[in-house]
Amino acid sequence: MPAAESIPSGDTYGALIFDWDGTLVDSRDLNHRALEAALRDCGVVLDPGWYWHRQGIASPDMLVEWEETIAPLPEPIDTIIDRCRRYVVAGAATLKVIEDVALVARRAHQRGQPLAIGSNSAAITLDAGMRATGLGSLFQAAVCWSDVPRGRGKPAPDIFLLAADRLGVDPSRCLVFEDAHEGIAAAVSAGMDAYNVRTREHHSSAHPGQPSTDRPSSK
């Protein structure tokens, strides 16, 4: 994870939107264990390689792909996902805040900049995580997978567009902090600039795939 000094402050943007899993909190192992356990409870073995290749998409969408490409599941997807979410909520206290990124959000909050979370998580798991970490008080809005039509989670732009709408800020004036390719694609598709906290790359909505610079807040 880059040092706080190397992460853009985003102070020239109208608003900042943060992904949750992998960006603000280290939840990789918790989310994997939860889905693994939820599938094991109905007799299905989750292949780690298959899972990690798709970790940037929401678990319900992941299981839709499972049924489309591997085999029907022995229980309805909604039943498995509800069980998975209960495992995530139960383990919320184990989440580790990624302090370098959280510091950017805390400084933006101190200067009164509008902030939102845009996550492929469900509301119940995101709420539990925000309470467990104490990060929830920094954000004026939180948008998750369950707030948009089914199948319109990242990499679709809907989550980030709804976050900008709830903040009352034009998408072109938003900077997104992400850690996954699917999230970067969603942000750029929404007409937003994005910063990948994992690769340290800037992505411009005006020139996808090319580095971007902070835009003045007047735009």
Is CATH 3.40.50.1970 the classification given to domain 4-26+96-203? no
The domains spanning 4-26+96-203 and 28-93 adopt the same CATH topology: no
Element (H, E) at 193: strand 193-196
Query: Dihedral of CA 176/170/119/117: which sign?
Result: positive
Second-level CATH architecture of 28-93: Orthogonal Bundle (1.10)
Distances (CA, A) of 138 to 8, 16, 114, 178: 18, 11, 9, 17
- Could you give the percent of the chain with pLDDT greater than 90? 82
Bridge-based pairing state of the strands 174-178 and 193-196: parallel
Across 196-216, b (16+ Cβ under 10 Å) vs e yields bbeeeebbbbeeeeeebeebe
Mean pLDDT of 155-177: 97
Query: Dihedral of CA 28/29/34/36: which sign?
Result: positive
Domain positions in the chain are: 4-26+96-203, 28-93
**Burial of 45: CB neighbours in 10 Å, binned 0-12, 13-18, 19+:** exposed
The alpha-carbon radius of gyration of the chain (Å, integer) is: 17
pLDDT at 14 over 50: yes
- The band of 207, judged by pLDDT with boundaries at 50, 70 and 90, is low
For the chain, give the mean pLDDT: 91
Which residues in 64-159 belong to E strands, given as ranges?
96-97, 115-118, 141-143
Q: From CA 141, how far away is CA 118, in angstroms rounded?
A: 9
Q: From CA 161, how far away is CA 170, in angstroms rounded?
A: 9
Report the pLDDT value the prediction gives residue 165, as an integer from 0 to 100. Answer: 98
pTM for the predicted model, two decimal places: 0.84
pLDDT at 36 over 70: yes
Mean pLDDT of 105-112: 98
Q: From CA 91, how far away is CA 66, in angstroms rounded?
A: 25
pLDDT tens across 84-104, in order? 999 999 999 999 999 999 999
